[in-house]
Chains A and B, each alone.
Chain A
Amino acid sequence: MTSAFAVLRDQVGPAVPEAGLARKAVFDGVAFGAVLREATMQSASQEAARQLLHDMRQLLDVLVLPGPVKSIVMEEIDRASHDTGVQQRRRRQRALLATENPHGPSALDLADSFDILEQALA
């Protein structure tokens, strides 16, 4: 959340007062996006994060809001969804790197054998 405001402060410059920055953060969807991202990161599981984003999308459909505001919020939901997916995959990839890889040598051996075959036939 703090970093989201810092980015916005850099964008608007020091002349805009704090209250103006906060208003802009709300109307531009920055505050919403930051809260949403934080909520999905803190979710207990991938399923919980997905459910949260799904619920937000459904809620947005029924809320009576001006079109431009809906678009901004939807973009933030999409961005949060993308970011959450990336972070979850990164966590899994790190975990995978720490596990045993019993099938790696066989896969490599077969890939090399096919390479040799292709080169021999070339």
Chain B
Amino acid sequence: MRWVVDTSAWARREIPEVRRQLEDILAERDESEFVLSPVVLLELLRGPQGDADVSAERGMLTSSMATLGVDAATFELAADAMEALARHDATAHRLPVADLVTAALAHQHRSGVVHCDDHFELLANCSGLQFVQRRIELPADDAQRSSGHLIAGRQRALKQEPFQLLHREPVADAEAFLERTVRALRERGEP
């Protein structure tokens, strides 16, 4: 069984519980392996900074995992999935493009998807795409809260609401707000 590993799972592999679940998937069968969706590869390459680090990360990922091929049929499948999702719920098709393409690839290549992302459950159940999805459970206990990942997770959650509100404002108002905020932060001596 080949498993497309989504950014939501692979980027968290330093969390012991996540690593253990990923190792368990590899150990399930002799032929179990992780493979890359090209969009996941691009998402993972946004992590490092500088050409040396990006090249090293790319080399490490592509030498360890086969990359599934994308073609016109992949995008046809993704568009079909969007139609099916919109029939299911009026706005259900407004998913991140990376998740749609990854799910379409999994269907096309008869692979599973390993993830920590609700979108893949929706895609597996309501989009018409046929693929097995496996959710990696994240730890919720206090001990894990001290890890950098969960601090980053809290920061992401904090950023989410103002981000969304800002994008609903007229551009001029949003820019003025951001300028005022940046100026205030600079005056406090912060970068």
Point out residues on A near B: beta carbons under 8 Å: 85-87, 89-90, 92-98, 100-122
Residue B188 CB within 8 A of the other chain: no
- Judge whether A118 and B26 touch: CB under 8 Å: no
- Judge whether A122 and B152 touch: CB under 8 Å: no
Interface residue range, chain B: 35 or more
**For A94, what are the chain B residues with a Cβ–Cβ distance below 8 Å?**
23, 26
With known contacts A105-B11, A106-B46, A96–B164 Cβ distance under 8 A: no
Residue B69 CB within 8 A of the other chain: no
Point out residues on B near A: beta carbons under 8 Å: 7-8, 10-14, 19, 22-23, 26, 30-34, 43-49, 53, 57, 60, 63-66, 91, 94, 96-98, 148-149, 152, 155-156, 159-160, 163-164, 166-168
- A108 and B152 alpha carbons, distance in the complex (Å): 9
- Judge whether A101 and B22 touch: CB under 8 Å: no
- Name B's interface SS: helix
Return the chain B residue nearest A104 by Cβ.
B11
Nearest CB on A from B6, distance (A): 9
**For A95, what are the chain B residues with a Cβ–Cβ distance below 8 Å?**
64
What are 23 A-to-B residue pairs whose CB atoms are below 8 Å?
Answer: A87-B30, A89-B66, A90-B26, A90-B32, A94-B26, A96-B13, A96-B64, A97-B13, A97-B19, A97-B26, A104-B47, A105-B152, A106-B46, A106-B48, A110-B47, A111-B7, A111-B8, A113-B156, A115-B96, A117-B163, A117-B167, A118-B97, A121-B167
Nearest CB on B from A90, distance (A): 5
